[in-house]
Amino acid sequence: MDNRTLGRTGVRVSPLCLGAMMFGAWGNPDHEDSTRIIHRALDAGINFVDTADVYSSGESEEIVARPQGAPKPRGAGDQGPRDDGPRPEPTGHSRRWIIEECEKSLRRLDTDWIDLYQIHRPDRVVTSTRHSGR
């Protein structure tokens, strides 16, 4: 599979991305089955995986990190607005929230980096200028 550059990042990714939203309680609770799907995608040359902190409450990220002997795929994190309880800014798009959730994702994914971390949908409360620091 011919890899492509991800935007202007210089990161080379496969043109196909494995979507991991249904790994875990939201879809397929069988971790071994999800692991087989990941291995099949990696064997086919896919090195780009879309997962998110909200997919099965982080379980999807843990499944993606799990396959033994598999090269770590390039990561695409996806962070969506939600309310996990009392916080100063419970929408999930404040700069502080994004950093905290990204750090949790790194731990669940058992990696030191995420190549792409994006906001899933706009937030009516927190503007893009506020979370990007611009």
Model confidence over 21-53: pLDDT tens digits?
Answer: 999 999 999 999 999 999 999 999 998 888 888
- For residue 86, pLDDT over 60 is answered with no
Active site residues: 55
Cα of first residue to Cα of last residue in the chain, in angstroms, is 37
- 117 half-sphere exposure, CB direction, 13 A CA radius: 18
Beta bridge pairs of residue 75:
49
Predicted local distance difference test score (pLDDT) of residue 96: 81
Q: Give the pLDDT confidence score for residue 120 in this predicted structure.
A: 72
pLDDT of 8 higher than 70: yes
The upper half-sphere exposure of residue 72, i.e. CA atoms within 13 Å in the direction of its Cβ, equals 14
